[in-house]
Amino acid sequence: MATTHALWGMAVALPVLASEPTLAPVAFGAGLAGGLLPDLDLYAGHRKTLHYPVYAPLAAVPAVTLAIATPSTVTVGIAVGLTAMALHAVTDAAGGGLELRPWLADSDRAVYSHYHGRWIRPRRWVRYDGAPEDLAVAGIATVSLAAVAGSAVTAVAVALLAVSAVYVLVRKSLATLAEHLVGLLPTPVLSYVPERYRESQ
């Protein structure tokens, strides 16, 4: 879930809270943004256009090194943001495939590696986005944040977890709803709809 990625992006900022607490607000904001940013490609080459499972970690390493050497709002923000983006892209491979109903396990595409020029297959350690275990992973991040972060961060984390819980409850019915809504679209518009939503059209 995007919310799971957002929560773990915020969790990436926890070391900053311990070492440079004055920079923690920037770090938490950057982690939240970095965790969400890759999924902005949802309707334009999802898990490919903004997902970099090889390049993002490579970019994060020097950014983190620089932030440790010269901590500032800029260096820490960039380091945490890039690390959150990298974590997002890498962990997508641990989930389900890129399909309308990923619980059916029909897809062999989890996330695209621009370095290898091919799709990385899904491991399905988390069976699909919105699975109960996805909520559990989000819960771990929420508890970690609530345990040590301030009230504002905790409030954001709890709100994201609440959204996650609702999504888990309606996840499978959303696939049917999306399929129905796509069926109502005029033919000229269908070409702009991601392929996974047109599987039955």
The pLDDT tens digits of the residues spanning 99-148 come to 889 999 999 999 999 999 999 999 999 999 999 999 999 999 999 999 99
Q: pTM for the full model? A: 0.91
The pLDDT tens digits of the residues spanning 3-48 come to 999 999 999 999 999 999 999 999 999 999 999 999 999 888 899 9
Q: pLDDT > 90: what percent of the chain? A: 82
Whether pLDDT at 151 is above 80: yes
The DSSP string of 128-171 is STT-HHHHHHHHHHHHHHHHHS-HHHHHHHHHHHHHHHHHHHHH
Q: Report residue 125: phi and psi, to 5°.
A: -65, -35
Q: What angle do CA 47, 27, 23 make, to 5 degrees?
A: 165
Could you identify the residue written with the tokens 């899904």?
A: 122
Domain coordinates of the chain in residue numbers? 2-171
Choice between 95 and 178, residue whose per-residue pLDDT is larger: 95
Could you identify the residue written with the tokens 């499972």?
A: 53
Whether pLDDT at 91 is above 90: yes
